[in-house]
Amino acid sequence: MTEHTATSRPPAVQVSTLAKRTLGVPALVFLIIAASAPLTVLAGGATTSFAITGQTGVPVGYLLLGVILGLFAVGFGRMSTYVHNAGAFYAYVAAGLGTRLGIGTSFLALMTYNAMQIGIYGVFGFTASSIIADLFGVTLAWWVCALAGWLLVAWLGVHRIDLSAKLLAIIVLLEFLVVIIVSLLSLTTSPEGVTAAPLLPQNWLNGSLGALLAFGMAAFMGFESGAIYSEEAKNPERSVARATYIAVGIIAVFYAASSWALAIGLGPSQIVAQAQEWGPDLVFVFLDGKLSGLLVNLAAVLFLTSIMAALVAFHNAAARYFFSMGRAQVLPSALGRTGRVSGAPVVGSLVQSALGLVFILVFAIAGAGSELGPLFPVLTMFPWLTNAAGFGLVLLLCVTSVAALQYFNREPERHPLFARTIAPLLAAIGLAVIAVLIMFNFDVMIDAEGSTALVVLLPGLILGSAVVGLIWGEYLRVKRPEIYDAVRQANIG
């Protein structure tokens, strides 16, 4: 690449080098937690889980998932000390189960992260439109607001990752503050008293556990993303694993505590009915009258920035999967180019942004004149894509646990029994059960009444991406063995 070419096409790009040693443990933790968006989980995820499952045992679901994912993190974190690659899942599976399965996993990961990131634009556009209407009396179509958010995400995606990390750190800290305030107000309000009723076995061991786990999984989306930044982390041999453990613990305990507090604030006997009536607005309805109008409005704006934080986090993850696969030439090598100054995966970021733009426009056209009105993106784009992504994530975690099991047991003397066998095996079993539960509850999760084809189509697309990846891996093995062998050598670990 000549100097003239590099300076005439900003941002200038080079091949295969991400920014080195820019992220410490705190930055990694913020990037991880931003993907699960604390305020979005409480206002959107927890209330939806209360409403659809009809049970008060939502906090227990978060705790149980925390245990399963904590077990997963043991093998996952240990793998991060041996294999450093921006395509974490694909690299780990390739190292543990072989190159063909690794390439299949890379396609599954690409589909999963892109589906999650793009689906969130639906709820972002609706929320931004609603807030602007409430605060300024101006009515904007959801897709106009989604495009504004898309533009900001696209801009951040081609700049240094530590810029995104600093922005996300501020947003996440403010989110935690709002959720803590809601929780304290809930405990001081407690119309039925502070009680452990939501945690009692009869409120989750009654046939609803599967749905609670299926819905709760969305709260942990992105907890594994620390490994994606391993090439950009300071001391990745220790920082990635440490950040993952911290994030899983914080997410599980904090979300369980805040959802329990919300149930106490509304009253355990009323939380389900209230959630079914108000949905994601429940938290702000609860705050109305307890805080000044200004503070309630600020909380609503933070809800929007919470969604933006998740968009940025998943965009970064998807862009790095594109980068990793382009660098390995599993996909076009242009995807492996990074900015000379920023070290960001510029081409992968632009491709992810292009996909987001296409889907926003497609759903904008499809929703024109819909009987669903302004709720169209919240009832279609958001649940369809994000729940499909949740299913894909569970499959990724399950396969990665099996890969860790295989990888560590090649040299059992180097790894303790718990890390090499017990934790990965229990995690794989638990995650396989959750995957089955999601399949059985998928119609409820996407509210598929009258649209039953989606119950098969959406999970089928997720599984189909893995099959396409396996076929592509076999093609590379036969027709492009030099690429196939290079992937194998790069991920021996």
Q: Which residues pair with 291 in a beta bridge?
A: 288
Looking at mean pLDDT, say which of 92-96, 266-270, 323-327 comes out highest. 266-270
Please state whether beta strands 337-339 and 13-15 pair in parallel, antiparallel, or not at all (unpaired).
antiparallel
pLDDT at 385: 92
Q: Taking 50 as the threshold, does the pLDDT of residue 6 lie above it?
A: no
The amino acid that residue 302 corresponds to is L
Q: What is the mean pLDDT of residues 108-117?
A: 93
Distance (Å, whole) CA 276 – CA 200: 21
Q: Taking 60 as the threshold, does the pLDDT of residue 45 lie above it?
A: yes
SS3 content of the chain, % helix, strand, coil (to 5): 80, 0, 20
Token readout for 453 is 């084809």
Give residue 424's pLDDT band: very low, low, confident or very high (50, 70, 90). very high
Distance (Å, whole) CA 486 – CA 126: 45
Contact 375, 126 (CB under 8 A): yes
Residues 19-490: name the CATH superfamily: Amino acid/polyamine transporter I (1.20.1740.10)
Q: What is the mean pLDDT of residues 351-362?
A: 97
Alpha-helix residue ranges (DSSP H) falling in 42-160: 47-53, 58-80, 88-97, 99-136, 142-157
Length of the chain: 493
Q: Nearest CA to 135 among 145, 149, 150?
A: 145
Token readout for 472 is 């592509």
Q: Taking 90 as the threshold, does the pLDDT of residue 458 lie above it?
A: yes
Q: Taking 70 as the threshold, does the pLDDT of residue 13 lie above it?
A: no
- Count CB atoms within 10 A of the CB of residue 411: 9
pLDDT in tens, 130-157: 999 989 999 999 999 999 999 999 998 8
Distance (Å, whole) CA 175 – CA 173: 5
Please enumerate in sequence order all residues whose Cβ is within 8 A of that of 126, keeping only pairs 6 or more positions apart, or say none: 142, 145, 374, 375, 377, 378, 382
Give residue 8's pLDDT band: very low, low, confident or very high (50, 70, 90). very low
